[in-house]
């Protein structure tokens, strides 16, 4: 079915150059707005059949390699970064997006307003908290820890640099706030009680700001397997937050993370499928080289896809919401991975009654 879902109707061309036979000025028109790719009927049918509580999307959207999948032709990455979100949000399977860039630097209210203005009212955003709050270290440009971060898990800074701007800028379109804790030093890992107390204070403060925004899910993602313990679940339960499944080379496979999520039931699912485990804990650069230009599945991971689909079907089948974002680094092409995952969700949902 996958070949039917994506009809590569438009051949790739040189971004910034008119295609053969284009009228003069056509390129300027293309730069004014990014147009969505035509959607095959089978893709619409697949999207319509999915649970309404499920929202899937990518980690960002500025990929020229999605020509024919998301875009109607070839565009420069810089054009897509500025103007591609509107076309992205018209894809029937892409009902959310993860704003990753906020992790590297806090964004302004106006930047969030711009994002919201490019998407329909029923589109939702998953937004990552800036690392200045969730990283225990101040890092040099090469990523190495330089010194202790005095703002680590600071509730006041989280309010002013993250929660308030996202609420003001995105409004009802804000779906999930993700607090991804960067890999911790051994010093912190040997003091879990202090770490969890600080995390609980942060999450309590965040939830107090969301009283009038019950649609917003607060999720915590970690990059240290040592934190997948009952005390972590206790903090999440006490603060009304959830565990974000972080499918990444630094973390155990999905089946080893699911017990913590089950301990929080009932509740929503937030999952970020970030990096194929075949590339290891620090394999982003290798994954990028192997997968570019991100137009096809090159590192299939049917095991993760199957278990994730079963998890989605089980949670949404009981009326809970699910947000799942997928990176190109998961299998090579996020839109194609999402289509395959959608098919697997429907198959898992169909099998669920027989499994009882």
Q: What is the mean pLDDT of each run of 10 residues along the chain (356 residues)?
A: 32 35 44 87 96 97 97 95 97 97 95 97 98 90 76 98 98 98 94 97 98 97 97 98 96 97 97 94 92 97 98 97 98 98 97 62
The verdict on residue 284 lying in a domain is: yes
The verdict on residue 59 lying in a domain is: yes
pLDDT score recorded for residue 3: 34
CA atoms within 13 A on the CB side of 327: 18
pLDDT score recorded for residue 28: 46
Distance, CA of 49 to CA of 29 (rounded, Å): 35
Nearest residue to 235 (alpha-carbon basis) of 289, 294, 194: 194
Same domain, residue pair 148 and 135: yes
Tell me the CA end-to-end span of the chain in Å, nearest whole number: 28
pLDDT score recorded for residue 6: 29
The verdict on residue 8 lying in a domain is: no
Nearest residue to 325 (alpha-carbon basis) of 170, 118, 175: 175
Boundary-marking domain end, from 217, 240, 263: 240
Boundary-marking domain end, from 196, 220, 240: 240
Residues 6+ apart with CB under 8 A from 129: 102, 103, 158, 162, 177, 178, 179, 180
pLDDT score recorded for residue 197: 98
Distance, CA of 177 to CA of 94 (rounded, Å): 18
Distance, CA of 151 to CA of 118 (rounded, Å): 33
Distance, CA of 167 to CA of 331 (rounded, Å): 32
Nearest residue to 98 (alpha-carbon basis) of 74, 129, 132: 129
> Nearest 5°: CA angle at 47, between 52 and 61?
100
Same domain, residue pair 169 and 253: no
pLDDT score recorded for residue 33: 86
| Domain span including residue 256 | 42-99+243-351
Q: Phi and psi of 198, rounded to 5°?
A: -65, -40
Provide the 10 A C-beta neighbour count for residue 289: 10
Same domain, residue pair 53 and 85: yes
pLDDT score recorded for residue 16: 38
Same domain, residue pair 93 and 131: no
Nearest residue to 39 (alpha-carbon basis) of 94, 97, 82, 76: 94
Same domain, residue pair 112 and 226: yes
**Count of structural domains within the chain:** 2
| Token representation of residue 299 | 């590192």
The count of residues in the chain is: 356
pLDDT score recorded for residue 145: 66
């Amino acid at each position: 079915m996958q070949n039917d879902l994506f009809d590569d109707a438009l051949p790739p061309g040189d971004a910034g150059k008119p295609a053969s036979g284009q009228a003069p000025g056509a390129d300027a028109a293309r730069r004014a707005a990014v147009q969505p790719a035509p959607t095959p009927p089978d893709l619409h049918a697949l999207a319509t059949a999915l649970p309404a509580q499920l929202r899937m999307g990518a980690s960002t959207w500025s990929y020229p390699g999605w020509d024919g999948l998301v875009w109607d032709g070839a565009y420069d990455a810089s054009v897509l970064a500025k103007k591609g979100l509107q076309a992205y949000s018209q894809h029937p399977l892409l009902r959310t997006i993860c704003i990753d860039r906020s992790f590297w630097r806090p964004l302004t209210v106006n930047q969030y307003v711009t994002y919201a203005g490019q998407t329909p009212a029923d589109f939702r955003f998953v937004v990552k908290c800036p690392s200045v709050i969730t990283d225990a270290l101040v890092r040099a440009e090469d990523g190495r820890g330089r010194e202790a971060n005095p703002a680590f898990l600071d509730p006041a800074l989280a309010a002013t640099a993250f929660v308030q701007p996202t609420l003001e800028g995105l409004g009802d379109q804000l779906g999930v706030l993700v607090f991804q804790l960067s890999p911790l030093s051994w010093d912190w890992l040997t003091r879990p009680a202090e770490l969890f107390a600080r995390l609980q204070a942060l999450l309590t403060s965040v939830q107090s700001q969301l009283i009038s925004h019950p649609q917003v899910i607060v999720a915590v993602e970690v990059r240290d397997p040592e934190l997948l313990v009952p005390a972590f679940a206790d903090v999440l339960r006490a603060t009304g937050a959830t565990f974000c499944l972080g499918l990444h080379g630094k973390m155990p496979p999905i089946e080893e993370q699911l017990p913590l999520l089950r301990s929080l039931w009932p509740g929503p699912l937030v999952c970020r499928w970030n990096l194929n485990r075949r590339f290891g804990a620090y394999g982003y650069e290798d994954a990028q080289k192997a997968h570019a230009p991100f137009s096809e599945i090159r590192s299939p991971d049917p095991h993760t896809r199957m278990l994730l689909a079963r998890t989605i079907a089980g949670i949404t089948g009981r009326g809970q919401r699910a947000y799942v974002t997928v990176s190109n680094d998961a299998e090579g092409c996020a839109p194609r991975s999402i289509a395959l995952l959608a098919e697997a969700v429907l198959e898992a949902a169909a099998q669920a009654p027989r499994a009882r």
